[in-house]
Amino acid sequence: MLRALFRAVALIGATACIACGDAALDPLPFQVGIDASRSTAAPGDTVTFIVTAQGGSLFGVEMDYGDASGEQYGTSGARTARVTFRHVYAATGAYQVEATVTDAVAGQKKASVSVRVN
C-alpha cells in the first residue's frame, strides 16, 4: 500500500512538471512610465502617481518626490507592474518627481514628471 502511495505522488509530481513546462518567458522590452493625478496642487493636497513598468524580472520601484522624501515598492520579479503612490507636499515650489525601476535583466530605467505646488 505504501508503494502505491509513493507511485501516486510521483505520478502527480510528474504531471505537475509536465503541465508547468521548462520554457522560460522572453523578457518584455524594458519600459517605465509615470503619471501624476495633477500637475499643480496646493500645499497639503494629495498627489497620486502611477508608475507602470515592464521588463524581464522587475525587482522594485523607487520614488523620489523631489522634496527630500521618497519610498520604495518591491515587485518580486514580475514582468509587469502598475504601482500607485500618494504624496502630500507641505511647501510651495516646483518638484521633479522621479521613478527608478530596477530590472534584474536590464538594469535601471527612470521616468519623471513635474509637479508645481502653489
Could you tell me the CA-to-CA distances from 29 to 58, 65, 113 in Å, in that order? 12, 26, 21
Instruction: Name all domains of the chain by residue range, CATH numbers in brackets.
Output: 26-117 (2.60.40.10)
| Tens-digit pLDDT profile for residues 8-65 | 333 333 434 445 555 678 889 999 999 999 999 999 999 999 999 999 999 999 999 9
| Tens-digit pLDDT profile for residues 86-115 | 999 999 999 999 999 999 989 999 999 999
7: enclosing H helix or E strand:
helix 2-20
Nearest to 72 by CA among 61, 58, 86, 56: 61
